[in-house]
Structure 1
Amino acid sequence: MKRYRVAHYGTGHTGTLVLRQLLARPDIELVGHLAHSPEKIGKDSGEIVGVDPVGVRAIGSFDEFCALDVDCVTYLATEFGREVDDVIDEMCRLLESGKNVVTTTFIRLVYPKSLPPDMLAKLEKACAAGQSAFMGTGIAPGFTTDALPVYLGSLCEAPRTVRVAERVLQGTYSDPLSFMALGFGTVPQGPTTDLPADVWTVHFEGALQMLADGYGWELGSINAYQDLALADKDYEFEAGAIPQGTVAAVRLRFDGVVDGEPRLRMSWVYTMPDEPGDAWSPVRPTGSKGRRFTHVDIDGTPSVSVQLELDGGELPGGGATATRALNAIKAVCNATPTVHSALDLVVTPQGVQTHKQGDSL
C-alpha cells in the first residue's frame, strides 16, 4: 500500500474529524499541520484532536506550510468570516507549489464548472503551474445530492426527471451559526410556505449544475423556495432555544428548469427536534437511529428509487464527509493536473484494514 505524505490545514469541527481519521490511516503520513488559533500553534497534532502525540506540531506560518514536501494538502480551514478570494488565493499558492489539494471548504468547489469563470481560471492556472490536481468534495453537495444521482442515472435508458430529497436532524449540532442562518427559534413575519429563497441558491447551484451536466441536460434556470414549520412545544438545544410557535424546521427547495420544465428537483429539510413536526419527505423511518436521510427518485426506463441513511455524530454526515475527503487523496494524487469533480474522479475506499479470520461479517 502506497503511503501518501499529507499536510493538514484546519481543526474546526470537520477539520478535527479529518485530522483524527488521518492519524489512524495506514495509507497516510501526517507531515505538517497549519493552525490559526494561538493556543493550538506549537501543540502536538494528536493532542489537539484528543489522541496520543504523533510527533508533528502545529505551525502558524502559511509560508512555512507551503514549503513542506508533501503529496497532498487536506484543506479544511473554514471560509466563514473570510473573503472567498482570500481562500482561493491560499489554495492557489498550495497548488502552485506542487501540492495536490483536497478540500471540503466553500461548497461550490465540489463542482468547479459552476464557479465564476475568473475564479475557475485562477485555480486551473495554479494547477498548471504546479502540475497539481484539485478536488472539492463533501456529502451534500458533493455526493448524495449530485454524484450519487448521476451514477444511479446510468441505470436508466431514458431518464425524464430526477428528484433528490434530504432530511438532516440537527439537534445534536452545537454551532450557533447554522442555527441562526436557518432562522431557528424566530417568529415568522408572514407566510410560512413558498417563501423566496434566492439567497440560498449560490450555495446549492453547483449541485444542480453537476446533476444537469451529468445527465447531459442544459440547466436553464433555478427556482428557489423556502418553507417553515413551527414548534408545537418549547425546546432547548445547545445551539439555542426554540420556544413554542417559533421556527423548528426549514425546507429549502430548488427546481432546476430544463427545456422549460422542472426536471431536476432538490430539497433539504433541516430540523432541530428529532420528531417530525412537518409532513415533508423524507421522514425519519420508525425505529431508525440515523440522523441524515436521502431519497433519490429517477423517473425513467427503468425508474430508480434509492434511500440512504447516515448515522451519528454531532453534525449528521460529518464523519462521512471527513472519510470521503481522505479517500479522495489517492485519486487526486494520481489525477491529471487540473481542477476535478466527482464527475471525472471516482473516489473508492482506501486505507481499509485487512479482515481477520474469525471476525464476524
Structure 2
Amino acid sequence: MSQRLGARAVLSGSVLLLVAAFAVGAVSGAYAISPSQLWNVLTSLGQGVSNPSPEHLVFLNIRLPRLVLGVAAGAGLGMAGTLMQGLFRNPLADPGLIGISSGAALAAGVTIVLGAWLWPVLPRTLGSWTLVLMAFGGGFAVTLLIYGLSRSEGGTRMALMLLAGIAINALAGAGLGLLSVMATDEQLRSLQFWLLGSLGGARWSAVLLVSAAVLLACWAAASLASPLNAIALGEAQAALLGVDVEHIKRRAVVITAVAVGAVTATTGIIGFIGLIAPHWVRMVAGPDHRVVLPASALLGAALVLAADTVARTVMAPAELPLGVLTAFIGVPMFLLMLRHFRGRI
C-alpha cells in the first residue's frame, strides 16, 4: 500500500473498530438485547437494581465477561504476533511458532485425561483453577524449552527457534492425538475446548486474571517498540545502534509467553489472530512498532469479538467453535500473505 495513514488515524480507527465490535457483540446472541435495552442496563449500573430484568442478568452475568475476555484475548494475541514478527523479521511469523499454544493444550489434555492418576491431590487443593494453571505452566515450560534449544554460542538463533518450534509443536500434536484416543467420551468433549477454542467458559475471576496478565504484557511490550525498529534493520546494525539484541529477544519471548499462555489457558487455542492483525496494521500504517504494537492489540481484540459474535449467532442456538472460525478466516489470509511475500522468504 503506497499511501500510509498517520499514527493517530490508525489508532483512532482501531479504537472505533473495537467499540463497534463490542457494541454488536453486546446486543447479539441467542438472547437478543436491543440497543435501547442495552442502554438501560448500562445506565442502571451501580444503582442497585432490586428486580433486574432478563436482559440485565444476561448482559452482566453472561455476555459482559465473555466480551471482556474476548478483548483481553485478542489484545494479547495481536500484541504477541507483533513481537514475534518483529523478532523473526518476517510478516508470516506467529506466536504459535514458539510452542505456547500447543504446550498449553498438551498440559491441559494431560490434566483432563491423566490428571486423576498423576496428581489426584491438585483438584482438591486448587479446584477449578487446576486446569488453567496447568495449561499456563505447560505453555510457559514449552516456550522455555524451545528458547533453550535455540541457544547457540552464547546467542539466540531465530532459525533454530523456528525449527525447534516446528518439532515441539508436532510432538505436542502427536501427544494430543494419543490423549484423544485414550480419553473417555466426557474427557474428549473437554479436550475439544482446548483444540478448537471458545470464549464460552468466561467467568469473572478468570477474566480479571487474564486481563491483568495481558495488560502487564502490553505495558512491558511498549518499551520494545524502538529496539524492534532497530532489529528490523538487522541484528548487527541494531547492535551497532546500542541495542542489546539478546536481552530484547529474551524479554520478547517472556512477554509473549505470559500473554499467550494466559489467554490459551482460559480460551483454548485461537489461531491466526496474531498473524493477521499485525499484517493488516502494517498495510495501512507501515512498519513502525510504536504504532503497530498498540494498533495490533486493538485490532486483535476487535477481530476476536467479531469472530465470537459470528460463532455464537450463525448457528444459534448452537455455537460454532471460535478456533474453527478464525482458521477459516486466517488460512486464506495466510495463503494470500504467503503469495505476496514469497519473494522475501
TM-score in terms of structure 1 length: 0.25
Whose strand proportion is higher, 1 or 2? 1
Whose helix proportion is higher, 1 or 2? 2
Q: Which has the higher contact order (CA 8 A, sep 6+)?
A: 2
